[in-house]
Structures are given as C-alpha cells and as structure tokens.
Amino acid sequence: MQAFKELAEIVRKEKVAEDLYRLTVKAPDIAEFSRPGQFVMVRTVEGMDPLLRRPFSVHQVSGGDMLQIFFKVIGKGTKALAGMEPGQQVDILGPFGQSFTMAEDSLHILVGGGIGTAPLLFLAKHLLKKNEVYSLRVLLGARTGNEIARVAEDFTNLGLTVDIITEDGSLGRQGLVTDLMTELQQDKQIMVYGCGPYPMLRAVAGICRENSWACQVSLETMMACGLAACLGCAVMRADMQGYVYVCKDGPVLDMNEVAWL
Amino acid sequence: MAVESPKMNVDIGSLRLSNPVMTASGTFGYGEEFSSLVNLHRLGAIIVKGISLLPRQGNPPQRIAETACGLLNAIGLANVGLERFFSEKLPFFDAIETPLIVNILGDTVEEYQELAARLNDEERIAAIEVNISCPNVKQGGVAFGTDPEMAHKVTHAVCQHFNRPVIVKLSPNVTDISLIARAVEDGGADAVSLINTILAMAIDIESCRPKLANVFGGLSGPAIKPVALRMVWQTAESVSIPVIGIGGISSPEDAIEFLLAGAKAVQVGTANFINPRAAEEIIQGIESYMVKKGFASIEEMIGRARKS
C-alpha cells in the first residue's frame, strides 16, 4: 500500500463547537490517495510527550491537495492539535487502512454517532458520484446537538436527507441513533455504513443482522504506528480464533468479521 | 581536522554492516510494512518481528498504553510462525540487500534449537537474535533471560545449530545484567543486544482497572533510555563480545551516547512508530557528528566515554 509522510501546513482551523475542531491541511500526496474510511497518523507535538501519533479518519479531501480531519479534544494529543494555528505545520503519515466498499444498487444508510461522523462526509461525496441523492440516507446521533449540528449541515448541503437524534433532545428527536434504524423502509437492498463509539456499532450490527442488511463499520482503537508493526490495535475476530488488526484489516470491516465482545 | 567521509561500517562477529544502525525487532514488522516510507537499503540491518515455531495470536486487548515519553505494550509475541514466515515474509527480502536478522523466541530450549536449525538453511538470513525474555515452560515459567544457567543453555543450543552470528537479546528485568551477559558469552553468543522492554504497568483511574488486559507490559521509548544506557555501559565492561545498544533511541544524539558508552551498534525501536524514517535520519546524523568531531570511523567512537 502506498503511504506518504508529509509536513502539512495548516490552512484552516474551524472550531465547530466546544472541544470540536476541524483542521484543513495541505497534504497533496495523502489527499490524492485517500479513500473514504482510510485514516492518517498525525504527530501532535514535536517533542516526546505525547509520544505517539494519533489516528484520524480522513474527514474530507478537497481541491486535490487539501485534507481535513475532524476531532474532539479528549486528551493530551488532541489538546495540542487544537492549539495549533493556520500557518503551522503538522507531520502526517498516510493514508492507511481499508476504505469503505461502495455497494451497488442499494439504499445506502450512513449511520454516525458523535465524532464518529468524521469519515461519513467523505463517503457520502464518493457515493454521490455514482448514486442518486434519494438512494442515500444519513442518520446522525449524538449526546447533544452541537456535536453534530455543523456536520449535519454539510450533509444537507449535499442535498441529502438527514435524520438527527440526540440523547438530550437538544437537536432532532430524543433517543439513540439505532432508534432511527428500526424505522427504515425495507423495500430495497440495504447497505449500512456505521461509524461511532463501539457500543453504538455493536447495536447497529445487531439491528443489521436481525434485518439481514449488509453492514460495514469503521472501528477505532488505540494504535501506536498505523503500519501494522506494533500490533496494538487487535480486535477479536468473529470466529474467536484470532485477531483482526484495525490499522491494516480495518478500520473499515464487515460487521461479520468482528466478535463484538 | 575534519574527516570528509567517515567509515560507518562495523562488524558484529562475521556479520558486516555498512553502518551501525538497525531496526529493533517488534517495531519494524517484517520490513515490507515500511517499504513505501523508508529506504530499506540505507539501514545497517533489519531485524524482523520475533518468530516462534508455531503462530501465536497474542494477548487480548488492551495491548498498548501510552505513558510519559513511553509506550507500554503487552502484545504477547503475536507472530505468523516459522512456516508462514518462510512462505509469506521471507520472499520480500529477495530484492533487499540489507542484512536480515531474524529474532526468535520459544517456550523450551528444544524450540529455540529447532528454530535455529531451520533458519540455518536459509542463506538469506545473516544472523539471528535470540529473545530470552520468554518464560521457560519447562522450568516453571521463569524467563530464560533472568537465570544465568538457563540463558547459557539456550544460547549454547542455538549456537550449536546456527553457523552464522548469534545475537542474544537481554532482559533488563534482572538484578545484574552483566551476569547474564557473561553467561551467554560463555554459551557462545557472538554479540549481546540490550535492553529489551522494562516490566511496567499503568492504571486507568476512570475504570479503576489496569490499562493493559495483561496487567503488566513492557515499557519502551525515550523514558527508558537512561536505564538502557547504564546497562550498556555495565555490560560493555563485562564482556568482550560486541554489545548492541537498544532502549529509547530516537535521535542521532541518543545513538551516539550508546556508542560512546561502549555499544558497537544500536537498534532503533519505538521511534520507528513515531517516525518511520528515524533509523535513516539517525545514520545521517551520526555521520554529520563524526565529520564535525573528526572521528574517522565508528570504531574510534566506541566506548570513548569510558576512557579517562
């Protein structure tokens, strides 16, 4: 797999909501080769603490050389990254991992939870190259509205129908994103593309199995390298006879490949 | 007086390296993973992920945790096993001229011995590195590397069945590492490499549980460098075979410290995860330093800090 190391200049920083940021960087090689679902490894400081790079899904690519990541401040690394300003450079490796497989002749259901919506915008744009607007549905869930309001707007601007549900009811209906799934019409072959926290994905996979829908999920784990060298990102395989590695076999996996422990 | 192009080559027994910088086992996959990011031909040697006779799945997650300037891991020696190493990983090296060193691990002396014998038939393999930090299942699970007698025995068995250089990788989780170093030197080792990771742990204060499913893991990265340097110094004083320094080496300056302490070569480990080109940059940096300081060869630098 072709991967690159680029010193990418930050061209735009957008504070989407409290602790939620989008960074646009100029990384021509990585942007050119990125496919929806793939990720990059970003060095958040020049020093040694935090030591490891942080993995981020590619949120969008634009203009042929720009790449965007969407993240929430949760620890030292993301805090450092949120403190960076346009004009500064970040050291990025990628693109890594398996991308989403675009299904054919299906109703495409994009299911995102919180910051897990990150790779779905890029996916939607790719799907729209070959599919009509009405064959895509976007279901977004979050704890609270401001976590997804901005991204929901981006989907809407693509002409897509977006259903929103929040745990606190501050935006859209009140409930979990899986509640929206149970209301889906089943007159067509369905492909679900899920990304979000692990418990949500497990619930999404459960509903897909019950309804015999195909489902791909994008998993997130800790990883040290992204290169399948550290083997830190192991997830138990469905047959319980070994592990899949999120960086190399994923991050996008068919729901049937995972044991869902 | 400045030296234009210093001699970077070093010998580890009969193994000739174009420069003293290798990639450490377990941090560089099977080489191929890094091929689009690194010029593999510039490296002194490539040491691949430790191989056991049979495949190993490894430990359940969580397998890694980040600590201050360090990385904790309990991967559990996951690897494809010898057969798949031969059929799937070794052919990649047909096109690579850099010396290939295979790290081996086992549960019993017999396992190490069989690995050595099988690897001996593959001419492409320049040397083996023996991981003796594994528990000996026939001796109540005590790690080979913590007991001089067991360390000697496993080294001897490997050397009997492998006719090229044998490097023994030492565990730092001992009271006196030089004692183990002398035991493996007696056992016939051509070199020792040290240190392997330091036994450590971390606790998640939210869940109130250890961060690693295995509870304990091995600490690596810049955090362990001073400990590693001290152990390399002590070991270089105690044995006459070459010492290969490992432990948190992330920059040319780090590598130079190890050479000055008495290491004849170094391995770059965790730094590969953060900067896949770390080893290449270290090679360049050592060369620049030599030019600046007027060292004509690596040999001139080795153990320099020990001389009064």
Asked if B29 lies within 8 A of A229 by C-beta distance, the reply is yes
What's the CATH number where B302 sits?
3.20.20.70
Q: Is A4 on the interface with B (CB under 8 A)?
A: yes
**Domains in chain B, number:** 1
Per-residue pLDDT tens digits for A86-114: 999 999 999 999 999 998 889 999 999 99
Q: A231, A239, A244, A246: best mutation site toward chain B, by most B Cβ within 10 Å?
A: A231
pLDDT higher than threshold 70 for residue B237: yes
- Phi, psi dihedrals of residue B11, rounded to the nearest 5°: -115, 135
Please, is B114 exposed, middle or buried when counting C-beta atoms within 10 Å of its C-beta (0-12, 13-18, 19+)? Answer: middle
Q: How many Cα neighbours within 13 Å face the side chain of B203?
A: 3
Using alpha carbons, list the distances in angstroms from residue A204 to A112, A198, A210, B102: 10, 10, 10, 43
Nearest-angstrom CA–CA distance, A60 and A48: 29
Q: Do A224 and B71 touch (CB under 8 A)?
A: yes
Q: Give yes or no for A212 touching B (CB within 8 A).
A: no
Q: Do domains A4-96 and A107-218 have the same CATH topology?
A: no
Let me know if residue B64 belongs to a domain.
no
- Match 């993301």 to its residue by tokens: A78
Per-residue tokens: B291: 């030019």
User: What's the angle, vertex CA A30, arms to CA A27 and CA A34, rounded to 5?
Assistant: 130
Residue B55 · residue B81 · CB < 8 Å: yes
Three-state DSSP class for residue B219: strand
Contact call for B273 and A236, based on CB within 8 A: no
Question: Cα separation of B7 and B12, whole Å?
Answer: 15
Quick check: B126 pLDDT over 60? Answer: yes
Average pLDDT over residues B261-287: 98
Q: Do A1 and B36 touch (CB under 8 A)?
A: yes
Closest by Cβ to A51, choosing from B69, B73, B272: B69
Whole-number pLDDT of residue A187: 72
Task: Tell me what percent of the residues of chain A surpass a pLDDT of 70.
Answer: 100
Q: Chain A residue with minimal CA distance to B250? A: A48
Interface touch A3/B66, C-beta < 8 Å: no
Active-site residue set of B? 134
The token pair at B221 is 């990265």
Cβ neighbours of residue B276 closer than 8 Å, sequence gap 6 or more: A5, A93, A227, B34, B37, B38
Residue B41 domain boundaries: 10-58+76-197+221-306
pLDDT value of residue B238? 97
pLDDT band of A183, cuts 50, 70, 90:
confident
Pairing of the two strands B191-194 and A39-43: unpaired
> Does the distance separating the beta carbons of B73 and A51 come in below 8 Å?
no
Q: Which residues of B touch A50 (CB under 8 A)?
A: 66
- Give a yes or no: residue B90 inside a domain: yes
Band (pLDDT 50/70/90 cuts) for residue B35 is very high
Mean pLDDT of B99-107: 97
pLDDT band at A17 (very low <50, low <70, confident <90, very high): very high
Q: Is B17 inside a domain boundary?
A: yes
Q: What angle do CA A117, A118, A120 make, to 5 degrees?
A: 65
User: Locate tokens 């490296």: which residue?
Assistant: B43
Query: Is the CB of A46 inside 8 Å of chain B's CB atoms?
Result: no
A198–B contact, CB cutoff 8 A = no
Question: How far off is chain A from B2, nearest CA to CA, in Å?
Answer: 31
- Mean pLDDT, chain B, rounded, equals 96
Residue found under tokens 């360390």: B151
- Cβ atoms of residues B286 and B252 within 8 Å: yes
Residue B2's pLDDT is what?
Answer: 52
Q: What is the pLDDT of residue B3?
A: 54
A5 to chain B: closest CA residue: B37
Cβ–Cβ gap A227/B73 under 8 Å: no
Least reliable range by pLDDT among A148-157, A184-193, B33-42, B143-152: A184-193
Fold of A4-96: Elongation Factor Tu (Ef-tu); domain 3 (2.40.30)
Element (H, E) at B226: helix B225-238
CA distance B61 to chain A (A): 6
Please answer yes or no on whether B71 and A48 come within 8 Å at the CB atom: no
Distance between CA atoms of B272 and B250, rounded to whole angstroms? 8
Q: Strands A39-43 and A89-96: what pairing?
A: antiparallel
C-alpha–C-alpha distance, residues B129 and B105, integer Å: 9
Q: Is A11 on the interface with B (CB under 8 A)?
A: no
Task: Find all residues with CB under 8 Å of A187, minimum gap 6, and list them.
Answer: none
pLDDT of residue B184: 98
Domain boundaries, chain A: 4-96, 107-218
Q: Pick the residue of B63, B197, B270 with the most A CBs within 10 A to test the interface with A by mutation.
A: B63
Candidate from A4, A43, A243 with C-beta closest to B274: A43
Domain annotation covers residue B67? no
**Of A136-150, B30-44, B51-65, B131-145, the least confident:** B131-145
Q: Which residues contact B21 (CB under 8 A, 6 or more apart)?
A: B43, B44, B255, B265, B266, B267, B268, B279, B282, B283, B286
Helix (H) or strand (E) holding A207: helix A198-210
Contacts across the A-B interface (CB distance below 8 Å): 97
C-beta atoms of B66 and A52 within 8 A:
yes
CATH number belonging to the domain at A107-218, selected among 3.40.50.80, 3.30.1130.10, 3.20.20.80, 3.40.800.20: 3.40.50.80
Chain A's closest residue to B59, CA to CA, is A234
